Structure 1
Amino acid sequence: MVNSSLTYEILLYLNSFYFGLFAFCEFGMGIFKAINLPYPTGILATEFSILFFLCCNESTRIFLASKGNLTRRVATILKSVGLTVPSVLGVVYLLVWQTYILRLEVILCGIQLTFQALETLLALFCLASFSKSGSF
Structure 2
Amino acid sequence: MEKMSKVTNVNSSLAYEILLYLNSFYLGMFIVCEVAMGILKAINVSYPENALLTEAGIFSALCFVEMIRIFLGRRGNLASKKIPVFLSVLLTIPSAVGVCYFLIYQTYILRLEYIWCAVMLMFHALEFAFAILFIFTVCKNQQFD
Q: TM (normalized to structure 1)? A: 0.96
Say which of 81, 89, 103 aligns to 2:97: 89
Q: Alpha-carbon deviation of 1:36?
A: 0.2
Q: CA RMSD in A?
A: 1.0
Q: How many residue pairs are counted as aligned between the two chains? A: 134
Q: Distance in 2 between matches of 1:133 and 1:76?
A: 19
Is the counterpart of residue 56 in structure 1 residue 79 in structure 2?
Answer: no
2:76 counterpart residue number: 68
4+ runs of 1 displaced by more than 2 Å?
none
1:80 counterpart residue number: 88
Q: Distance in 1 between matches of 2:63 and 2:141?
A: 34
Q: Distance in 2 between matches of 1:20 and 1:82?
A: 21
1:98 counterpart residue number: 106
Q: Alpha-carbon deviation of 1:132?
A: 1.2
Q: Supply the AA of the counterpart residue of 2:109.
A: I
Is the counterpart of residue 118 in structure 1 residue 126 in structure 2?
Answer: yes
Structure with the greater alpha carbon radius of gyration: 2
2:49 counterpart residue number: 41
Q: Distance in 2 between matches of 1:52 and 1:24?
A: 12
Q: TM (normalized to structure 2)? A: 0.90
Gaps spanning 5+ residues in structure 2: where? Answer: 1-6
Tell me, what secondary structure is at the counterpart of 2:140?
Answer: helix
